[in-house]
Every structure is written in structure tokens, then in C-alpha cells.
Chains A and B, each alone.
Chain A
Amino acid sequence: MSKRDRTPKTYTRLTHPLVRDSRDEPFRRATWDEALDRAARGLSAARGAFGMFSCARATNEMNYVAQKFARVVMGTNNVDSCNRTCHAPSVAGLSAAFGSGGGTSSYEEIEHTDVIVMWGSNARFAHPIFFQHVLKGIRNGARMYAVDPRRTSTAEWAESWLGLNVGTDIPMAHAIGREIIHAGLANEAFIARATTGFEEYRALVEPWTLSLAEKVTGVPAAAIRELAHAYARAERAQLCWTLGITEHHNGTDNVRALINLSLLTGHVGRYGSGLQPLRGQNNVQGGGDMGAIPNRLPGFQDILDPDTRLKFESAWDTVIQPHYGMNLTEMFEAMEDGSLKAVYCIGENPAQSEADSEQAVRRLKALDFLVVQDIFLTKTAELADVVLPATAGWAETEGTTTNSERRVQRVRRAVTPPGEAREDIDILCDLAARLGHDWKYADAETVWNELRSVSPDHHGMTYERLEEHQGIQWPCPSTDGLEPTYLHGRLWETDPARRGRLAPFGIVQHDPPVDLTDERYPIRLTTGRRLDSYNTGVQSGGYASPLRRGEYIELSPEDAERYGVVVGEEVQVTSRRGSVTAPVWVDPALRPGLAFMTMHFPDEVDTNALTIEANCPIAGTAEFKASAIRIEKLPIATIVG
């Protein structure tokens, strides 16, 4: 048995620009002038075939400037960010129902609610401080229900944990909806006043009896019934979800199916009752709010609305394309067919974070020109023609970010960036200048004030007020007052005019995971986060977590026994797309046939070589949560210490 060093790769900061004269050559150090000139040349050559990957971890101000760069300098709406890989379905689903993509409640409200449903969310690990608010709620008497294939740390706090089959969220939700209707627990007053499409919904869920749902989800009918009754009978209830809902090929449908339950019971638009998608990145909310997505302008204003376009065209002195741009997923597909030739990638690592990572790398390599702006030489940066060293958004930059409860908060510069690293906005402006647009932003606040002038939802948030209130939640149209902590109170208005657009039920069908299990690939692999690590581990690998043990394929005790493998033993893990070796961990929270991995250690075990790029057609998010794999013992047993 051999042992292998499993210390994660540590990345050191980029301190100066890098360029290379051809893809076969290694990088060489360059001056900022040379690097920016090259970048400008490369981008201008690809006008009309350009895509911008903005950054869900950078500030609102940076995202604002980045999308403006794409739209004004490059004349395209092809701008997107990694929200595509996680919560785009939440935004798509919520805006389809309510016209706005944000979570409807605030953290504080979950402390004062009666029932909490955590669906596809291991917030205890992935959002620990949000979970502290949940725990306050539980300590205040709320009952929590967890719906998750694994009995996670979150689920261990639940009154009842429902261990459903991966990808059967819609059957579960529909069965809950049907049970609520049949038990006479639907909030008829709210349905009549605030929703549309109820009859269609009733017909849609009618076939989903508890017993059919039990067959499909694997969860006992009694458990589903109990959850249905608890949620419907609660005076206040919060429904929270994370990537267990969104990272499916039909993620938006999943989100709609959950929203339906809130419409059915009136658990939205009131203090303590609402919907709470938990965001994975510090500014995944803000990135979209700032318009760094292909279909919205800053302030989450629809590009297809001519008045909105006109407002921005006059503010920016430009012409805005009157159609949606490509999202991240579509841009990757466009790389394949050659219609996208240049990408400006800021702070993202798609070479490792995309599902089916081998395909992602192949596509990035097919680009004519790739500029990467980052704080590290990531795997994506290694593929670039020009690499620009940036500052760390959260510690070296002034600005704001927007959290999962729509709270815009100030980020501040605490340390001086290393070497020649520069702030994203300055780099973008220098590049814009080289491409003929001379933007003058004295500082982040100037950018913010420009945003405030075009986004009514942010208008009332001056830096001064953000400081005073320790962040302000949008909408904040006025500099004089604050709005309620929850959204869509309008739905409860008696006056139809003030009620506004009614919320439609989502008519969505069950569609099982694309990557089916069969005799050759008998195990369902699902993915998630661990407490001490983050995404591709580029940042979290930098500190010495005593909890970290590297990447493992986690199996149920039964499966470990069936395959005759023990903890630490390396095995071959193979999906229809790729194969990796990984050591075994045994987790009693898993049941037979269900395995778990993370994407925190791609340099050791490239989990995304296994995952499937089956994308949600609406939001473009891939089905990270469901692939089919098999486990094979290695010919020579290797134990990892």
C-alpha cells in the first residue's frame, strides 16, 4: 500500500501581468501597457463574437462596469457569471412568478416563523451563519423539515427528514400540493386574490397521490403528508432552498414547483412567510442586480423593455441591443461552433467549475482570444493569452456586495494588493479607453452613484446610508425611508391596482435526471459543499483547516461493504463522461446506491470530469446534482493516510 500526499494545491497571488506570444509558449511577464494593448487588440478583433464572464464574487461596482463594458464597448449583451452554475434557476423561477429574482424574506424573519422547510440545502455547512438564524428560529419554537437525499447536518436538526431520490423534487412538491388541496388546507383567499392558473395547477398535481409520490421519491407517504400539513397549517412558514433544487437539468422547474407551494398556502409576502434561496457566492445576487446577466440591465430591468433601453441608451450614450445575449452555457456552446471567438473572463474558473470540465477546457482552448483577470493563476488562467492580476474583491477593494437577503453592504480595502495587481474597475476602464471609451470614475462610489441614478431599486442607498444601517435591503427607492424586510406584500393588497401583476402557478412536469443509472452505472452521484471549503478550493485551500481531509468519494456503509472497500482506499470512479480515482469515505448519512463528492479539490480529484452538462433550458444551469457512476476497486490497493 502506498501513501500519497493530499495537501491541497496552494495558489500564490499574481503580482504582474502575463502574456504569451503563442499558445505553445509559456507565459512571460509583461508591463501593464503591453498586456492591456494586447488585450485591446484581441478583443477588438472579435467584436461581434465576444463574451464577458463577469464575477459573482466581485463588487457590484465592478459588475456594473463589466456589463457596461460588454454592452457599450463591445456592443453585446453576452455577459454572464457563475450564477449560471448555481442560482440562475432561482432568479428565473422567482422572476417568472413575482417579477423579481430575489429571495422574498430576510434572515431575521426566519427567527420568527413557525415552520421552516430546508429543501435541497445543507445550510449548516454551506451557509453556516444563515443557519444560525434558522437555529434561533428553532430555539424560538419553529419546526424545521429537511428534504434532502442525504441526512445532512442540516437534516439532523429537523423534526422530520425526508430522504428523497435525487431529482424527484417535483413529484414531492406536487404531492405536497395535492395533499394540501385535498385536505382543504389551501389558502383560497390568497389564491383567488393573488394568483393565476390555480385550476391548471390543481389538474397538474391531481395524479400525484401520496402513494405515487412514495413510489417515485422513495419517501413514505406519511412523511410527505406530515410535511404538507405542517407547511399548510403554519401561520408563518419559510421555504428555503439551495443548489439541491437548482443544479438540475430542470432547475427552474424545480424552483417553480416550490414557489407553487407558497402560492397555494399564502406563505409569501408577509413578515415571517416567504421564499429564501441561499446564494453560494458573496455577490451572486448583486451580479444579476447589476445587469451582469444577458437579459437584464442594471436594477434587474428587462432589456426587452424599450423604455428601459431608452433610459440606459441616453445615460450611456450608446445603442443597446434589443435582444437577450447569450448566457454562460450558451457562450460555451458558441465556443464549440466558433461563433464566440473571444472571452474576457474576470475572477471565474470555468475550467474547473463547469460540469463536464474536460469539455469546458476543450471549448476554452478553441477560442481565438482569452483574457483572464484574476488574483491567481487558475486552471482557466493557464489557458489564457493575457492574464491580468487583480485585487481581491473583499479585502483589497472598495465597493458593495449584495447578499442573499438582498442586503447591499460595503466592502472595504483592508490590505494593499501585492505587486502590480490593480483593481478590476481600473483595469476595465483602461481597456475601455484603449477601445475608444474614456470613462472617468474617481472611485467605487462614483460608479455606485451612477448605478443609483439608473436603478430605482438602489436609488436610496447612498454609501453614507449603507454605513449607517450596516447595509440596506433592496428595494430602496428613497433616500428617506426603508421598505419592509420582505418582498411582494403587494400581493395581499385588496386594491387590484396596488396588487399589481398576479403570481402565476408554474405548470411544470416531472422530468427525471438525464444521466440514468443502469447496470453499468448503478450509483447515483450527487455533489455539494463541505463546511471548511469553497468551490474549486482556490481560496479555501490557502488556510490550514483541521477539518480538511481532501477529496473522497463518500459511500454508504452498505455500498462500501458490497464493493469490499474501506475508508481511505483509492477506487476508480467512472461516469459516462470521465473517470477519476478517489479514496473512499464511508458516511452513514448516505443510503445504498447514493454517493457524494465535492468540487473543492479539482487539482487532486476532478469531480466535474464525472458530472453531466445537462442544462436547464431556461436558466442554463447544469445537473451537477445527478450523475450515474460506478465504483471499481483498483488492481493494487492504495490507502490514503
Chain B
Amino acid sequence: MTVTPLGIPRRLLEFTIDGEQARVPEGSTILDACRAAGKDIPTLCEGDTLRPKNACRVCVVEVEGSRTLVPACSRKAEPGMEVRTGTERARHSRKIVLELLASSVDLSTTPRVAEWLKEYEAKPDRFGPDAARLNEEPRVDNDLYVRDYDKCILCYKCVDACGDQWQNTFAISVAGRGFDARIAVEHDAPLTDSACVYCGNCIEVCPTGALSFKSEFDMRAAGTWDESRQTETTTVCAYCGVGCNLTLHVQDNEIVKVTSPHDNPVTHGNLCIKGRFGYQHVQNRD
């Protein structure tokens, strides 16, 4: 009989990070190793439930013998590799990447970015007042979620979550090319004419707040969104027997947003429209 596979045991490999010895299981990325070693490398497009896209390049590090910098999020650690995370060269590229993004995209709701801009002494303003920006208006075409592409750093995470990595709905893609590339549904139609099934798994992975619950969008617009007053409670969805774990974000006894734990064995952070948005009935209180 077949027994439960425990997985092939992974060998450990050794290499150095900033001169210190690191031991990680084979297959780990440089980022995994850095995090295990307590090194804080900024990341934007990296997602714990998604294959590394390494599009943002903010996590670059120096690897001995490599002509260019390498993205820590996707490059696998190799035996004997010499990795340096804080060199002037790596820090320079991170700084420029942050400046390029901050000068073209609205990063006001991107967690930690303000801290990084400070740490890397980034000055996005130095590209001048005429520096091209995305200049997108928020797209409010349904009652569940808003796409504010002025905040989009084109990390591809929403596309990957909607596509073959999780949802397999393929409602969105990157359309166009270069600086004009945008996330779009087919024929650039409104969401309501698209294949979108409103699972919100794109919102779950969006690193900048470009995709947000309508409730969050509206509350932010009204100035009432206050995460310090919110609680997060994980429970189980009531809409079918699959048993998806929901994390309810509650402010003033109102559910304002629903996420799912990314390490949950049932959902891996994914939900369907009912689990993600179907909470309103409990708070139809009068």
C-alpha cells in the first residue's frame, strides 16, 4: 500500500550571507535564508503564496561572481555562494527602484514603503515635477471592490493569483507594454463585463492597496478607516462545507474586510465571492 508521503528529506546546503555562515534546506531562496538569519530585505512583488515574479527588483543583493545584482526572492541559494545584502551597489539599486516607483505610483497605502524610502534616503522628487506618473483614476464599477491603478506597481501578483497559480479564472492580464502596461480585463472592459468572479483573491495579494474592498475604499475616502481600531478574528466560513478560514477585520463592530490566513491548509489565503464578500447579512441589524 501507499503510505502518506513525508516528502523527500531536503539536504542542507551551506553558503555565506554577509560573511556569516548560513545553512538552509536545498531549494530555499536567498530571501528565505536572509529572513531566517534575521536580515530585513525590502520586498514588494514577493508573495508568500505565489511563485516569485521578481519584477520589482527591490530585493536585489550582490552575489560574488554575478555580473548583475540578483533578486533575493527568486534566486535559489547554492552551496558556497557568497551573498552580500548591504553593499553600496545593492543599496543603490534599491534606492533607485524605490525612487522610480514613488515618483510614478501612489504608494500612500503601501505598507512599510515610507520607512524604506527613509532608510535608503530616496528622493523621488528629484525627477522633477514633470516626471511621468501613471495618472489613473480609481475604477469603481461594482459594489465589492475597487481597482485604483494609480497605486499599481505592476507586481503581477493579482494576475498570478487570478491565473494558473490559484484561481484559474484568468480575468485579468497585463495589457500594453512598458510604462503604458496596465492590469486589464479583456478588451479593457469594465469588470462587470469580464470573467471576474469576485473572489477577491487579487485583493488578498495586492501589496499596495491598489485593489481594495469597496468598504475600505469608501472609509478611506471618508477618513474613517482606522486600522488601530480594528480587530482581526479568524473563523470558518458558513457558505459551504469546504471549511475556509476567514479572518474578519472588524472596526466598530462592523466587518470591514475579510482575508484568509496564507498558511491555512484549506484556503492558502484564497476565498470565493461568498466567503470574501458575503458577510453583510450578519450586520443588517436594522
Contact = CB atoms under 8 A, between A and B. Distances in A.
Interface of A: 10-13, 15, 57, 87, 107-108, 112, 126-130, 132, 135, 139, 236, 269-273, 278-285, 375-376, 392-396, 401-405, 407, 409-416, 418-419, 470-471, 484-486, 489, 492, 531-534, 538-547
The 8 closest A-B pairs by CB, nearest first: A279-B241, A403-B243, A542-B281, A128-B272, A414-B233, A544-B143, A492-B1, A394-B238
A412 B250 contact: no
A395 B164 CA distance: 31
A282 B248 contact: no
Interface in B101-147: 142-144
A139 B270 CA distance: 17
Given A11-B284, A395-B279, A540-B239, 15 more contacts: A12-B285, A128-B242, A129-B271, A269-B1, A282-B236, A394-B235, A403-B243, A409-B266, A415-B248, A415-B282, A470-B261, A485-B4, A492-B1, A531-B197, A532-B198
Given A404-B243, A470-B245, A128 B233 contact: no
A269 B3 CA distance: 10
A546 B271 CA distance: 17
B254 A415 contact: yes
A271 B2 contact: yes
Contacts of B261: 470
Given A129-B272, A470-B261, A534-B274, A281 B241 contact: yes
A186 B223 CA distance: 67
Nearest to B282: A392
Question: Which residue of A129, A270, A492 has the most chain B CB atoms within 10 A of its CB atom?
Answer: A129
Nearest to A467: B234
A420 to B, nearest CB: 12
Nearest to A108: B265
Interface in B240-265: 240-246, 248, 250, 253-255, 261, 263-265
B198 A414 contact: no
Contact of A412 (B233, B241, B265): B233
A542 B236 contact: no
Interface residues of B, number: 61
B235 A410 contact: yes
B178 interface: no
Say whether chain A's binding surface is mostly helix, strand, loop, or mixed. Answer: loop
Contact of A394 (B143, B237, B268): B237
A13 B144 contact: no
A473 to B, nearest CB: 10
A470 B263 contact: yes
Nearest to B164: A139
A271 B267 contact: no
Given A396-B282, A411-B236, A470-B264, A546 B142 contact: yes
Contact of A532 (B192, B250, B255, B274): B274
Interface of B: 1-5, 142-144, 164, 166-168, 191-192, 196-199, 231, 233-246, 248, 250, 253-255, 261, 263-268, 270-275, 277-286
B213 to A, nearest CB: 11
B284 A12 contact: yes
A132 B279 CA distance: 22
A534 B167 contact: no
Contacts of A280: 240-241
A94 B4 CA distance: 22
Contact of A278 (B4, B241, B244): B241
Contacts of A538: 281
B273 A401 contact: no
A543 B213 CA distance: 13
Contacts of B253: 415-416
Contacts of A407: 243, 265-266
A11 B142 contact: no
Given A411-B236, A540-B278, A542-B280, A127 B241 contact: yes
A128 B197 CA distance: 10
Contacts of B197: 128, 531-532, 547
A545 B198 contact: yes
Given A236-B2, A470-B261, A542-B280, A415 B241 contact: no
B266 A542 contact: no
A149 B192 CA distance: 28
A540 B243 CA distance: 17
Nearest to B166: A132
Nearest to B265: A470
A271 B7 CA distance: 13
B285 A542 contact: no
Nearest to A272: B2
Given A129-B270, A414-B235, A545-B273, A282 B241 contact: yes
25 contacts: A13-B284, A57-B238, A87-B241, A112-B5, A129-B275, A271-B3, A278-B240, A279-B242, A283-B241, A284-B241, A394-B235, A394-B238, A395-B282, A401-B236, A403-B242, A403-B266, A404-B241, A410-B234, A415-B248, A470-B261, A489-B1, A534-B240, A542-B278, A545-B144, A546-B198
Contacts of B164: 139
Question: Which residue of A127, A135, A411, A544 has the most chain B CB atoms within 10 A of its CB atom?
Answer: A411
B285 A418 contact: yes
Nearest to B260: A129
Contact of B240 (A10, A11, A135, A282): A282
